Structure formats: C-alpha cells, structure tokens
A = this chain, B = another copy of it.
Amino acid sequence: MRAEIITIGDELLIGQVVDTNSAWMAQRLNENGIELYQITSVHDDRAHITAALDEAFGRADIVLTTGGLGPTKDDITKQVLCEYFGTHLVEDTRVREHIHELYKERPDVLNRLTATQWLVPECAEILENRVGSAPLMVFYKGDKILVSMPGVPYEMKIAMDEQILPYIETKVESRKSKAIIHRTLQVTGIPESSLAIILEDYENSKPDYLHLAYLPKDGIIRLRLSSYGEASEAEMSDWFGRLRDLVKEYLIAETDEPLEVIAGRLLQERGATIATAESCTGGKLAALLNRHAGSSAFYWGSVVSYDNSVKQHLLSVPEEMIKTHGVVSEEVVRAMAESVRKLIGTDYAIATSGIAGPTGGTPEKPVGTVWIAWATPEGTTAECFHLGKLREQITERACMKALIGLIRLLRE
C-alpha cells in the first residue's frame, strides 16, 4: 500500500514557507503501515496540479494533497479537483452548519467569501474539519483514493489524526503493507565514516531486506534500521540488539526521541529539577527543556545573561573573573552554572557561554568556541567545544552538547 503527498502552494516554491507538514504526515503514514513513496510540491496552477495528480495516481494507491483550500482567489485546489473528477460544486448543509457553529462568536468571519467554503464537489465524500472552515474532501479514482486537506499545520494534524487516518484504515485494511518497522539509535563522538567501518561486517551479514541508514546532524548520528514488511519483530529486535552492542561506546539513546525528552524523563525518574544560565544559546536551551507538555515537573527557570552586566548583577559572576579569563571561559561558565542553581534552587543547572559569531572571534577563541558547565548535587564539570562557523549551527549544537552531557550525568 503506497501513498504520495502533493503539497500545493506558490509559497513553497518561492521559499516563503518551509514544508513541515510532509514530515509529520510521513511519520503518521509509516506508523499506520502505509509506505510514503514520494512528496511533490507544485504551484497553485491548474495544469501543474493536474499533471502531478496523474503522475501520483500512476505510482500510488493513496494521494494526499495539502493546501489551496482557503476562501481567497489564489487558492484553486477545490476547483481544480472538481474539474479533475468531472463534478461540480454543491452546497453542503452539514458543512454550512459546522462553519456557523465554528464562528458563532466571530460574526465578522461569516461573510460571503467564507460562505464559499460550504460549497463542495458533488462526488466527494466530506469529512469534518473540526477546527477550520475548509472541507476535507475524499475522491475515488477506481479503487484509488485522494484526500484533499488544508495546509495550515494544526488543521492538517487534527484532520489526519481524527478523520483521515481512521477513514483510510477502514477502506484499505485488507490491502495494507505488512508492518513497517523503524528502530533508531543515536550515537555521538565518532565520525560517520569511522562508524561505518565498525559496522562493515554487520552491514555485510544482515539480510538485504533490513536497511541501515546514517543520519548525521548537530554532532549526533542517528542510525536507523528499517524493514518494510519482511522482518518479524523478533528478527528486527535481534539485529537491532547487535547494532546496539557494536556502537555501545558511543550510544546516547536507543530511540529516536528528542534528547530533551530523554533528559526530562531521566530528571523526573530522579524527582530532580533543572535550571539554565545561557549566554550564547540565548534561551534556546530553556525553550527546548520546556517544549513538551509536563515539563513543569522538572524545569524551573533560566537566566539568559546575554549582556555581561546580567552575568555580573544577576548571576554574581565577579567582574574581575570576566576581565582575567574572558567571558567565554571555564571559570565564568562554572560560576554561571553554580550561581543559577542556587538562585533558582534546583538540583541541576547548565550554563553556556560561547562565541556564536559572525564577529567576536579571536585567534585563541575563534567563532564556534563554546564553554558548557553542568552543576549537580555532586559538583560541577565543564567542557570546551568547537562547534563550527555558522551562528545557528553553533547555538543548535551547543544545545545538543548540553543535553548529551546532562543525559550522561543523569545515567551515571
């Protein structure tokens, strides 16, 4: 059972919007045993959309389209689908009532353009878009299915989880692929090529239907083992276990979860709390630690000390220490971590200070130099890293290094 995604919108092709929808949809499809074969982004253009539909139907059983369903003139997907399936628009009473209910406290939205949203293609089956006005439309082409949904990420996500995936499940159950299994390890501290040499015998001896992929990012390599229906859970577990044993020296996680989720769980298991004092990471590490629901159980707060005056006055880093060692130094970052741990009253604290660039580098401390300290109930450790040359990369990698250090301390 193969699916394809077609994302529709000029904004994608001029780079005004990053397509985050497709990756989210891809995950959900895989979890539901449906292989995603291709993602195609096309313009809000009749001929272009039509050609993409033809091509996708030539390869896949399910075609999912996002975008182009707004009430404004630039959105043409509904009209193009009408023509493609040789149908016309009719008023849908349920959709009309739903939209009236949705906007009952915002009568300004119930204007004549919004009214076009309850016109739907006659031959389409309509699923409820609980949080928006664009109808979710299902079309059939023989036994192949097309679902058209809005491109607004939160509308798409709710639609997929509550309506579209359950709908597809009932229609295609008998034609589904056997179980798609992905298992991922995260390793750090080894170049990709050296890792591949360690795994050479493993790769040569594993069955061909188990696929091993290397995904390096921000100093972490994710090693993914995949099976598209051929391997049993037991066989997968066996090969995954061998993989883990081969790389255990470099292992940071045995799942694909974000590191902040792993760190948060370890903190909660210990009933421990954490704070951060951030210079170069500027609040990014804080935002990572409290990104997920439930983080208030372990994350208490942060001081972002971008300006040196904040390091001195709020974090009590002595002016003399900054003058002697520089603001990017082991001494300062240790003082920051210990100070914020006391100030906020947590068990753990992490501090960062570095040169994110593009200016501020020196021969001794070039752009990319980052000191990180971890203050714990048992004492404080610190480490210096060189994290590349680009501002965004440096701050991202610094957050990853901070989390890796924390996870290792919590596992000790």
Contacts and interface: CB of A to CB of B under 8 A. Distances in A.
Given A301-B303, A310-B301, A391-B293, A13 B36 contact: yes
A286 B20 CA distance: 23
Interface stretch (A90-98, A104-112, A237-245, A373-381): A104-112
A23 B30 contact: no
A255 interface: no
Interface string A258-296: 000000000000000100101001111111011111011
Interface stretch (A40-48, A118-126, A137-145, A168-176): A40-48
Given A14-B30, A38-B40, A38-B42, A72 B196 contact: yes
Nearest to A74: B213
Interface string A22-54: 111111111000001111111110001000100
Contacts of A292: 391
Given A212-B73, A213-B74, A309-B300, A286 B293 contact: no
A304 B306 contact: no
B13 A38 contact: yes
A255 to B, nearest CB: 12
A287 B302 CA distance: 12
Contact of A43 (B37, B108, B302, B358): B37
A229 interface: no
Contact of A111 (B194, B344, B358): B194
A224 interface: yes
Contacts of A359: 293
Contact of A23 (B15, B29, B114, B307): B15
- Mostly helix, strand, loop or mixed at chain A's interface? mixed
A216 interface: yes
Interface string A57-93: 0000000000000111111000000000000000000
B23 A152 contact: no
Contacts of A10: 211, 213, 226
Contacts of A196: 71-73, 113
A27 B13 CA distance: 8
Given A19-B19, A113-B197, A40 B37 contact: no
A305 interface: yes
Given A193-B113, A293-B359, A314-B301, A37 B22 contact: no
Contacts of A216: 70, 152
B286 A296 contact: no
A290 B300 contact: no
A300 to B, nearest CB: 4
A69 to B, nearest CB: 12
Contacts of A11: 213, 215, 224
Contacts of A197: 111-113
A55 interface: yes
A-B pairs with lowest CB-CB distance, top 9: A283-B286, A15-B26, A283-B283, A15-B27, A301-B310, A302-B304, A282-B290, A300-B307, A113-B193
16 contacts: A11-B224, A12-B26, A14-B27, A15-B28, A16-B23, A16-B215, A17-B215, A19-B39, A38-B48, A39-B41, A276-B304, A282-B286, A282-B289, A282-B299, A283-B284, A290-B306
Interface of A: 10-20, 22-30, 36-44, 48, 52, 55, 70-75, 106, 108-109, 111-114, 131, 152, 154, 157, 182, 184, 191-197, 203, 211-217, 222, 224, 226, 256, 273, 276, 278, 281-287, 289-293, 295-296, 299-307, 309-310, 313-314, 343-345, 357-359, 388-393
Given A293-B358, A301-B304, A304-B304, 10 more contacts: A10-B211, A14-B226, A15-B23, A17-B217, A106-B191, A113-B196, A114-B193, A276-B304, A282-B287, A302-B302
